[in-house]
Amino acid sequence: MTARLLIVGPQGSGKGTQGVRIAEAFGIPVVSTGDVFRANVAAGTDLGKQVTSIIDAGDLVPDELTSAVVRDRLSQPDAGEGFLLDGYPRNLAQVMHLDEFLGGRDEALDAVIALVVPRDESLARLTARAAEQGRADDTAEAIETRLNIYERETAPILGVYGTRGIVDEIDGVGGLDDVTDRIFAALDARGLRRRSAD
């Protein structure tokens, strides 16, 4: 069966890690806008050149550009049976773009996993990641910008999806496996079946 999923959570909530686990279990691709942008920056493409300074500052890439990238990715054959979106939509305008695109294909999201992690905790995890990985946008300033954007622009999208009854709030504090189990339990309860559960 298909599963069209979105994972939402503040930076440092572990959504990247959980996203990969969920996608594997359901046999669907992860569509991470952050990864797509970073790959383009690394490869020096035109898109990469357009977005480098925006990403390093922790600001949002323009909505039209981001939505075009996502439409393109979701149009590829491997996303036909489902996908897990990570990092998109990130504001209400992008929610509208995604609605329009999926609606045009008679599709809709099945579930939105909202990872709940207190700001102090995500800040601590991001600072640790900055020390380990040295990502260009993991400076204290860019981290602050991204968390502020999350609270101001991204958190409100949960209100919209909430009225559709598709949001599962998951406590993101605890061991990685515990969090994964919580997510699987919530998706199971929606009747969304994992490959590995066959």
Which pair of tokens denotes residue 93? 């305008």
Q: Which of 21, 73, 90, 182 is catalytic?
A: 90
**Applying CB under 6 A, does 26 fall inside the site for ligand ADP?**
no
184 near ligand ADP, judged by CB under 6 A: no
Active site residue 146: yes
Q: Is 190 annotated as a binding residue?
A: no
Lay out the site mask for ligand ADP across 36-75 (x = CB under 6 A, - = otherwise).
Answer: -x----------------xx--xxxx----x---------
Residue 8 contacts ligand ADP per CB under 6 A = no
Give the residue among 106, 43, 47, 44 at the shortest CA–CA distance from 73. Answer: 47
> Which amino acid, one-letter code, is at 80?
G
Site for ligand ADP in 140-159 (CB under 6 A): 146
Distance separating alpha carbons of residues 144 and 60, to the nearest angstrom = 13
**Catalytic residue list contains 129:** yes
Query: How many residues in the chain?
Result: 198
Catalytic residue (one of 15, 21, 73, 182): 15
Place of tokens 């020390």: 131
> Within 10 A of 72 (CB to CB), how many other CB atoms are there?
10
Do 3 and 26 form a contact (C-beta atoms < 8 A)?
A: yes
Judged by the rule CB under 6 A, the positions of this chain that interact with ligand ADP are 11, 33-34, 37, 54-55, 58-61, 66, 87-88, 90, 94, 137, 146
| Annotated binding-site ranges for ATP | 12-17, 129, 174
